Protein backbone atom coordinates (compact mmCIF):
# COMPACT_ATOMS: atom_id res chain seq x y z
CA UNK A 1 0.00 0.00 0.00
CA UNK A 2 1.32 3.42 -1.00
CA UNK A 3 -0.28 6.69 0.12
CA UNK A 4 0.32 10.36 -0.53
CA UNK A 5 -1.45 13.56 0.48
CA UNK A 6 -1.32 17.06 -0.92
CA UNK A 7 -2.96 20.46 -0.50
CA UNK A 8 -3.21 22.85 -3.45
CA UNK A 9 -4.78 26.27 -3.74
CA UNK A 10 -6.79 27.64 -6.62
CA UNK A 11 -5.69 30.53 -8.79
CA UNK A 12 -7.33 33.32 -10.74
CA UNK A 13 -5.92 34.26 -14.13
CA UNK A 14 -5.16 37.96 -14.48
CA UNK A 15 -4.10 37.50 -18.11
CA UNK A 16 -6.57 34.92 -19.36
CA UNK A 17 -6.16 31.56 -21.02
CA UNK A 18 -8.98 31.02 -23.51
CA UNK A 19 -8.84 28.27 -26.09
CA UNK A 20 -6.85 25.07 -26.59
CA UNK A 21 -4.42 24.38 -29.41
CA UNK A 22 -4.39 20.68 -28.48
CA UNK A 23 -7.49 19.31 -26.74
CA UNK A 24 -5.97 15.98 -25.69
CA UNK A 25 -2.76 17.36 -24.18
CA UNK A 26 -4.46 20.58 -22.96
CA UNK A 27 -1.96 22.86 -24.66
CA UNK A 28 -3.40 26.39 -24.75
CA UNK A 29 -3.59 28.89 -27.56
CA UNK A 30 -1.79 31.50 -25.45
CA UNK A 31 0.32 32.07 -22.35
CA UNK A 32 -1.52 33.16 -19.20
CA UNK A 33 -0.64 34.76 -15.86
CA UNK A 34 -2.30 34.08 -12.53
CA UNK A 35 -2.39 34.79 -8.81
CA UNK A 36 -2.74 31.83 -6.42
CA UNK A 37 -5.20 32.55 -3.59
CA UNK A 38 -5.42 31.42 0.03
CA UNK A 39 -9.20 31.25 0.52
CA UNK A 40 -9.89 28.22 -1.68
CA UNK A 41 -7.99 24.94 -1.58
CA UNK A 42 -8.30 21.19 -2.06
CA UNK A 43 -6.79 18.41 0.05
CA UNK A 44 -6.42 15.03 -1.60
CA UNK A 45 -5.22 11.62 -0.40
CA UNK A 46 -4.33 8.90 -2.91
CA UNK A 47 -3.79 5.31 -1.78
CA UNK A 48 -2.58 2.64 -4.22
CA UNK A 49 -3.16 -0.92 -3.00
CA UNK A 50 -3.14 -4.52 -4.20
CA UNK A 51 -6.42 -4.98 -2.31
CA UNK A 52 -8.34 -2.61 -4.62
CA UNK A 53 -9.85 -3.99 -7.83
CA UNK A 54 -10.91 -0.66 -9.36
CA UNK A 55 -10.25 3.04 -8.85
CA UNK A 56 -12.60 4.72 -6.38
CA UNK A 57 -13.09 8.48 -6.12
CA UNK A 58 -14.60 10.22 -3.11
CA UNK A 59 -15.25 13.97 -3.26
CA UNK A 60 -16.26 15.70 -0.04
CA UNK A 61 -16.91 12.26 1.52
CA UNK A 62 -19.29 11.20 -1.29
CA UNK A 63 -18.47 8.32 -3.62
CA UNK A 64 -18.55 9.72 -7.15
CA UNK A 65 -20.20 8.24 -10.24
CA UNK A 66 -18.44 6.45 -13.08
CA UNK A 67 -18.08 9.60 -15.21
CA UNK A 68 -16.23 11.56 -12.51
CA UNK A 69 -14.18 8.51 -11.56
CA UNK A 70 -13.16 7.90 -15.19
CA UNK A 71 -11.56 11.36 -15.39
CA UNK A 72 -9.59 10.65 -12.22
CA UNK A 73 -8.60 7.16 -13.47
CA UNK A 74 -7.31 8.53 -16.76
CA UNK A 75 -5.19 11.02 -14.86
CA UNK A 76 -3.92 8.31 -12.51
CA UNK A 77 -2.94 6.28 -15.59
CA UNK A 78 -0.43 9.02 -16.44
CA UNK A 79 1.09 8.76 -12.97
CA UNK A 80 1.03 4.94 -13.01
CA UNK A 81 2.82 4.99 -16.36
CA UNK A 82 5.58 7.24 -14.99
CA UNK A 83 6.04 4.96 -11.96
CA UNK A 84 5.62 1.65 -13.85
CA UNK A 85 2.77 0.80 -11.47
CA UNK A 86 -0.40 -1.19 -12.20
CA UNK A 87 -2.17 -0.81 -8.83
CA UNK A 88 -5.63 0.72 -8.51
CA UNK A 89 -6.22 3.56 -6.07
CA UNK A 90 -8.69 5.13 -3.69
CA UNK A 91 -8.79 8.91 -4.08
CA UNK A 92 -10.30 10.98 -1.29
CA UNK A 93 -10.56 14.67 -2.11
CA UNK A 94 -12.06 17.51 -0.11
CA UNK A 95 -12.68 21.05 -1.29
CA UNK A 96 -12.32 23.84 1.25
CA UNK A 97 -14.33 26.60 -0.38
CA UNK A 98 -16.52 29.18 1.36
CA UNK A 99 -20.20 28.28 1.10
CA UNK A 100 -21.72 29.22 -2.26
CA UNK A 101 -18.48 30.82 -3.44
CA UNK A 102 -19.31 29.82 -6.99
CA UNK A 103 -15.67 29.07 -7.64
CA UNK A 104 -14.71 26.15 -9.85
CA UNK A 105 -12.21 23.95 -8.03
CA UNK A 106 -10.61 22.15 -10.99
CA UNK A 107 -7.31 24.05 -10.62
CA UNK A 108 -6.79 23.19 -6.96
CA UNK A 109 -8.38 19.75 -7.35
CA UNK A 110 -6.18 18.48 -10.16
CA UNK A 111 -3.04 20.10 -8.75
CA UNK A 112 -3.67 18.34 -5.42
CA UNK A 113 -4.35 15.05 -7.22
CA UNK A 114 -1.08 15.37 -9.15
CA UNK A 115 0.86 16.09 -5.99
CA UNK A 116 -0.74 13.34 -3.91
CA UNK A 117 -0.47 10.63 -6.58
CA UNK A 118 3.15 11.54 -7.32
CA UNK A 119 4.01 11.47 -3.62
CA UNK A 120 2.27 8.11 -3.16
CA UNK A 121 4.37 6.47 -5.88
CA UNK A 122 7.53 8.25 -4.78
CA UNK A 123 8.01 10.17 -8.01
CA UNK A 124 10.55 12.93 -7.49
CA UNK A 125 9.23 15.64 -9.78
CA UNK A 126 10.54 19.18 -10.14
CA UNK A 127 7.97 21.99 -9.93
CA UNK A 128 8.00 22.22 -13.74
CA UNK A 129 7.46 18.46 -14.10
CA UNK A 130 4.63 18.50 -11.55
CA UNK A 131 3.11 21.49 -13.36
CA UNK A 132 3.23 19.57 -16.66
CA UNK A 133 1.51 16.62 -15.02
CA UNK A 134 -1.21 18.75 -13.40
CA UNK A 135 -1.88 20.40 -16.77
CA UNK A 136 -2.95 17.05 -18.20
CA UNK A 137 -5.85 17.01 -15.72
CA UNK A 138 -6.89 20.67 -15.95
CA UNK A 139 -5.08 23.45 -17.76
CA UNK A 140 -5.31 25.98 -14.96
CA UNK A 141 -4.06 23.39 -12.45
CA UNK A 142 -0.53 23.79 -13.80
CA UNK A 143 -0.43 27.29 -12.28
CA UNK A 144 -1.58 26.10 -8.82
CA UNK A 145 1.73 24.32 -8.26
CA UNK A 146 3.13 27.75 -7.39
CA UNK A 147 2.28 30.37 -4.80
CA UNK A 148 1.84 34.01 -5.72
CA UNK A 149 2.16 34.90 -9.40
CA UNK A 150 2.71 32.24 -12.07
CA UNK A 151 2.88 32.20 -15.86
CA UNK A 152 1.73 29.23 -17.92
CA UNK A 153 4.10 28.94 -20.88
CA UNK A 154 1.93 27.57 -23.68
CA UNK A 155 4.79 25.72 -25.33
CA UNK A 156 4.24 23.55 -28.37
CA UNK A 157 4.34 20.03 -26.88
CA UNK A 158 3.64 18.08 -23.70
CA UNK A 159 7.23 18.65 -22.60
CA UNK A 160 7.25 22.42 -23.14
CA UNK A 161 3.82 23.44 -21.79
CA UNK A 162 4.01 24.19 -18.05
CA UNK A 163 3.87 27.05 -15.57
CA UNK A 164 6.72 28.87 -13.87
CA UNK A 165 6.83 31.17 -10.86
CA UNK A 166 7.09 34.93 -11.45
CA UNK A 167 9.48 36.74 -9.05
CA UNK A 168 7.61 39.58 -7.36
CA UNK A 169 9.53 40.62 -4.24
CA UNK A 170 6.39 40.05 -2.18
CA UNK A 171 4.15 42.34 -4.25
CA UNK A 172 1.35 39.76 -4.08
CA UNK A 173 1.10 40.33 -0.34
CA UNK A 174 -0.01 43.91 -1.01
CA UNK A 175 -3.09 42.67 -2.87
CA UNK A 176 -6.57 41.41 -2.07
CA UNK A 177 -9.06 39.65 -4.33
CA UNK A 178 -12.70 40.22 -3.38
CA UNK A 179 -15.23 37.82 -4.90
CA UNK A 180 -18.75 39.02 -5.63
CA UNK A 181 -20.81 35.85 -6.00
CA UNK A 182 -23.85 36.68 -8.09
CA UNK A 183 -24.72 33.11 -9.09
CA UNK A 184 -23.34 29.76 -7.94
CA UNK A 185 -25.52 27.61 -10.20
CA UNK A 186 -24.05 25.37 -12.91
CA UNK A 187 -23.21 27.24 -16.10
CA UNK A 188 -25.30 26.79 -19.26
CA UNK A 189 -22.11 26.55 -21.33
CA UNK A 190 -19.03 24.89 -19.84
CA UNK A 191 -15.63 26.51 -20.11
CA UNK A 192 -14.49 23.69 -22.37
CA UNK A 193 -17.41 24.08 -24.78
CA UNK A 194 -17.25 27.87 -24.64
CA UNK A 195 -13.56 27.87 -25.52
CA UNK A 196 -14.02 25.50 -28.43
CA UNK A 197 -16.95 27.44 -29.89
CA UNK A 198 -15.03 30.70 -29.58
CA UNK A 199 -11.83 29.37 -31.16
CA UNK A 200 -13.74 27.84 -34.07
CA UNK A 201 -16.26 30.60 -34.82
CA UNK A 202 -15.54 33.97 -33.17
CA UNK A 203 -14.70 36.83 -35.52
CA UNK A 204 -12.88 38.53 -32.61
CA UNK A 205 -10.67 35.60 -31.59
CA UNK A 206 -7.61 36.45 -33.69
CA UNK A 207 -7.67 39.98 -32.34
CA UNK A 208 -7.67 38.57 -28.81
CA UNK A 209 -4.63 36.38 -29.55
CA UNK A 210 -2.72 39.26 -31.13
CA UNK A 211 -2.86 41.31 -27.91
CA UNK A 212 -1.78 38.58 -25.46
CA UNK A 213 1.99 39.07 -25.63
CA UNK A 214 1.56 42.82 -25.12
CA UNK A 215 -0.73 42.27 -22.13
CA UNK A 216 1.65 39.75 -20.57
CA UNK A 217 4.55 42.17 -20.93
CA UNK A 218 2.50 44.92 -19.24
CA UNK A 219 1.49 42.61 -16.39
CA UNK A 220 5.02 41.36 -15.74
CA UNK A 221 6.39 44.90 -15.83
CA UNK A 222 3.70 46.01 -13.38
CA UNK A 223 4.60 43.12 -11.03
CA UNK A 224 8.32 43.93 -11.25
CA UNK A 225 7.59 47.62 -10.51
CA UNK A 226 4.93 46.86 -7.88
CA UNK A 227 2.60 49.07 -9.92
CA UNK A 228 -0.95 48.25 -8.81
CA UNK A 229 -2.66 50.61 -11.26
CA UNK A 230 -0.86 49.16 -14.28
CA UNK A 231 -1.58 45.60 -13.15
CA UNK A 232 -5.24 46.41 -12.50
CA UNK A 233 -5.72 48.09 -15.87
CA UNK A 234 -4.28 45.20 -17.89
CA UNK A 235 -6.15 42.63 -15.75
CA UNK A 236 -9.50 44.29 -16.44
CA UNK A 237 -8.69 44.75 -20.13
CA UNK A 238 -7.76 41.07 -20.51
CA UNK A 239 -11.05 39.93 -18.97
CA UNK A 240 -13.13 42.25 -21.14
CA UNK A 241 -11.37 41.14 -24.31
CA UNK A 242 -11.80 37.46 -23.45
CA UNK A 243 -15.51 37.89 -22.80
CA UNK A 244 -15.82 40.01 -25.93
CA UNK A 245 -14.78 37.04 -28.06
CA UNK A 246 -17.84 35.07 -26.90
CA UNK A 247 -20.22 37.73 -28.25
CA UNK A 248 -18.87 37.18 -31.77
CA UNK A 249 -19.09 33.38 -31.63
CA UNK A 250 -21.68 31.43 -33.62
CA UNK A 251 -24.09 31.22 -31.98
CA UNK A 252 -23.11 34.10 -29.68
CA UNK A 253 -23.15 33.64 -25.91
CA UNK A 254 -22.06 35.38 -22.73
CA UNK A 255 -21.29 34.39 -19.15
CA UNK A 256 -22.43 37.79 -17.87
CA UNK A 257 -25.68 38.30 -16.00
CA UNK A 258 -27.46 41.49 -14.97
CA UNK A 259 -25.83 41.17 -11.55
CA UNK A 260 -22.41 40.78 -13.21
CA UNK A 261 -22.98 44.06 -15.03
CA UNK A 262 -24.07 45.70 -11.79
CA UNK A 263 -20.86 44.63 -10.06
CA UNK A 264 -18.65 45.75 -12.95
CA UNK A 265 -20.35 49.14 -13.12
CA UNK A 266 -19.91 49.55 -9.37
CA UNK A 267 -16.17 48.93 -9.71
CA UNK A 268 -15.95 51.67 -12.34
CA UNK A 269 -17.95 53.99 -10.06
CA UNK A 270 -15.68 53.23 -7.09
CA UNK A 271 -12.62 54.07 -9.21
CA UNK A 272 -14.11 57.35 -10.34
CA UNK A 273 -14.84 58.13 -6.68
CA UNK A 274 -11.19 57.65 -5.73
CA UNK A 275 -11.11 53.97 -4.67
CA UNK A 276 -8.61 52.16 -6.96
CA UNK A 277 -9.94 48.70 -7.86
CA UNK A 278 -10.32 46.60 -10.99
CA UNK A 279 -12.47 43.63 -11.95
CA UNK A 280 -11.86 40.35 -13.68
CA UNK A 281 -14.17 37.47 -14.61
CA UNK A 282 -13.63 33.88 -15.65
CA UNK A 283 -16.06 31.73 -17.64
CA UNK A 284 -18.96 32.43 -15.30
CA UNK A 285 -21.03 35.32 -13.93
CA UNK A 286 -19.13 35.96 -10.70
CA UNK A 287 -16.96 39.06 -10.48
CA UNK A 288 -13.56 39.21 -8.81
CA UNK A 289 -12.23 42.60 -7.73
CA UNK A 290 -8.50 43.28 -7.42
CA UNK A 291 -7.72 45.89 -4.77
CA UNK A 292 -4.73 46.90 -2.70
CA UNK A 293 -4.84 45.38 0.77
CA UNK A 294 -4.73 48.84 2.32
CA UNK A 295 -8.04 49.64 0.55
CA UNK A 296 -9.72 46.27 1.21
CA UNK A 297 -11.86 47.56 4.12
CA UNK A 298 -13.02 50.57 2.10
CA UNK A 299 -14.05 48.32 -0.80
CA UNK A 300 -15.94 45.93 1.49
CA UNK A 301 -17.74 48.88 3.07
CA UNK A 302 -18.71 50.16 -0.38
CA UNK A 303 -20.00 46.76 -1.46
CA UNK A 304 -22.09 46.01 1.64
CA UNK A 305 -24.92 48.31 0.54
CA UNK A 306 -25.23 46.48 -2.79
CA UNK A 307 -24.65 42.79 -1.94
CA UNK A 308 -25.32 40.68 1.12
CA UNK A 309 -22.50 39.32 3.27
CA UNK A 310 -22.89 35.78 1.90
CA UNK A 311 -22.09 37.05 -1.60
CA UNK A 312 -18.73 38.53 -0.61
CA UNK A 313 -15.59 36.42 -0.16
CA UNK A 314 -12.14 37.89 0.53
CA UNK A 315 -8.92 36.19 -0.57
CA UNK A 316 -5.24 37.02 -0.42
CA UNK A 317 -2.18 35.51 -2.05
CA UNK A 318 -1.86 31.78 -1.45
CA UNK A 319 1.09 29.39 -1.09
CA UNK A 320 2.51 26.77 -3.42
CA UNK A 321 1.34 23.15 -3.37
CA UNK A 322 2.09 21.36 -0.11
CA UNK A 323 2.84 17.64 0.33
CA UNK A 324 1.26 16.71 3.64
CA UNK A 325 2.25 14.30 6.37
CA UNK A 326 -0.30 12.10 8.16
CA UNK A 327 -0.55 14.64 10.98
CA UNK A 328 -1.10 17.64 8.71
CA UNK A 329 -3.86 16.11 6.59
Instruction: Please state which architecture CATH assigns to domain 2-170.
Output: 2-Layer Sandwich (3.30)
Q: What is the reported pLDDT for 202?
A: 98
Regarding the domain delimited by 172-315, which CATH topology (the fold level of the hierarchy) does it fall under? Alpha-Beta Plaits (3.30.70)
Query: What would the pLDDT profile of 64-90 be if each residue is shown by its tens digit?
Result: 999 999 999 999 999 999 999 999 999
> How would you write the chain as a 3-class SS string?
CEEEEEEEEEEEEEECCCCEEECCCCEECCCEEEEEEEEEEEEEEEEEECCCCCCEEEECCEECCHHHHHHHHHHHHHHHHHHCCCCEEEEEEEEECCCCCCCCCHHHHHHHHHHHHHHHCCCCCCHHHHHHHHHCCCHHHHHHHCCCEEEEECCCCCCCCEEEECCCCCHHHHEEEEEECCCCCCCCCCHHHHHHHHHHHCCCHHHHHHHHHHHHHHHHHHHHHCCHHHHHHHHHHHHHHHHHHHHCCCCCCCCCCHHHHHHHHHHHHHHHCCCCEEEECCCCCCEEEEEEHHHHHHHHHHHCCCCCHHHEEEECECCCCEEECCCCC
Q: What is the mean pLDDT of residues 22-34?
A: 97
Instruction: Tell me the domain boundaries of the chain.
Output: 2-170, 172-315
**What average pLDDT score do residues 230-252 get?**
97
The pLDDT confidence band at residue 183, using thresholds 50, 70 and 90, is: confident
Domains 2-170 and 172-315 equal at CATH topology level: no
Per-residue pLDDT for 218 more than 60?
Answer: yes
Question: 132 or 97: which carries more pLDDT confidence?
Answer: 132
Rounded Cα–Cα distance for residues 311 and 240 (Å)? 22
- pLDDT number for residue 98: 61
Residues contacting 24, CB < 8 A, separation 6+: none
Q: What is the mean pLDDT of residues 283-293?
A: 95
Amino acid sequence: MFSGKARAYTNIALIKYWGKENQDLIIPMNNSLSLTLDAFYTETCVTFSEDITEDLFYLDHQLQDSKATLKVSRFLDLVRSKADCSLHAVVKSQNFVPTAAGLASSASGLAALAGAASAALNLTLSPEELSRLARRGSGSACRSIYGGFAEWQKGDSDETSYATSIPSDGFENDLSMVFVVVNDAQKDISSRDGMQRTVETSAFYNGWLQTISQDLAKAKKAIANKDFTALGEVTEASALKMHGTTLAATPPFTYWSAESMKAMNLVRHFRESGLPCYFTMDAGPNVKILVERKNEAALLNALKDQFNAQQIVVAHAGPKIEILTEEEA
